[in-house]
Structures are given as C-alpha cells and as structure tokens.
Structure 1
Amino acid sequence: MNILDNTASGTDTPICSAKGCRADAVWVLAWNNPKLHTPERRKTWLACEEHREHLSKFLDMRGFLKDVVTLEEWSAAEGQ
C-alpha cells in the first residue's frame, strides 16, 4: 500500500486511520487477515500517538497484527 493513499485533503501528510481522527500519522500498523490474505501480504493502518495502542489492540485481539513501526522506518524500507 502506498502510505500517501491515506493523506489529509490537499496535503501530502499521512493521517491517522482511526475513525474521525485527522491527526498526523506517526505509526504504521502492518497486519493481515490469515483467512483472506497470504502470509506475506501486509495491509496497513496508520496511527497517531493517541490511537496507536487502541488500533494495535484491536488488530492483535483478532490475531491480525504483524508489526508496528514508525512511519519514518516504513517509508525508508519502502524506498529500498
């Protein structure tokens, strides 16, 4: 997924995926649903500092959460 697909209108700033949140994203939560996705596939949610723990717990309770990294780290890895 291109992280910039989840940007604030008119900007290139990625925003949090939490419902109704318009804060800048700081974290990338990589996940997959094993019933739907191959093991190597990663979908992403973005999170601000305030929503990182809540979104992580939501995904982890379902067994979907695979990794949590900073947006900076994720972007650097995508650029390689």
Structure 2
Amino acid sequence: MNLFDLTGNGGTAGPAGAVCSRKACRNGAEWQLLWNNPKIHTPERRKIWLACGEHRSWLEDYLQTRGLWKETLALDQAGKAR
C-alpha cells in the first residue's frame, strides 16, 4: 500500500493533486496560506497550508487568531504562487 493512495489524489503533485488542508475537505486547493510559529520557527521560515475557496477565510482566521498567519497567495496551474 502506498501512503499517497490514502489521499485520494494518486500522489500527484501540483494543482491536480493539491488538496485543501481543512480537516475532511477533499476539494482542490486554490490558495496557499503562508504561516510560521514564532515560538519555534525562524522569522523567515514559512509553512504552507493549502485552501479551497470555501475554506480560505476559515483557515486564515484560524491562523490570524493565533498570530501565525503571514500572507495568502493564489495557487496557479503549475502549483506555484502567482
């Protein structure tokens, strides 16, 4: 068994396989939410959560409430920030 089989996207990378980070959501990602935890990460480090259009604001609010959110970037067709 391949771990990528459990994701339902066949292990493909990029927008075709980019899935929203919201728990139980399997929608395609449209946004990258960049964040870091200043208690454990250096200031320039950025972690990335992916978000679909439906969950973008929920995930941003979650990160902003905790002081972790840095910026949100659109995800283009190549899976890179626009």
TM-score normalised over the length of structure 2: 0.78
Give the residue type in structure 1 aligned to 2:60. Answer: S
Give the equivalent residue in structure 2 for 1:9.
Answer: 9
Q: Is structure 2 residue 72 aligned with structure 1 residue 68? A: yes
Runs of 4+ in 1 over 3 A off after TM superposition: none
Question: 1 or 2, which has the higher helix percentage?
Answer: 1
CA RMSD, Structure 1 to Structure 2 (Å): 2.0
Q: Which has the larger radius of gyration?
A: 2
| Runs of 5+ consecutive residues of structure 2 not aligned to the other structure | 1-6
| Runs of 5+ consecutive residues of structure 1 not aligned to the other structure | 1-6
TM-score normalised over the length of structure 1: 0.80
CA distance in 1 between counterparts of 2:28 and 2:64 reads: 22
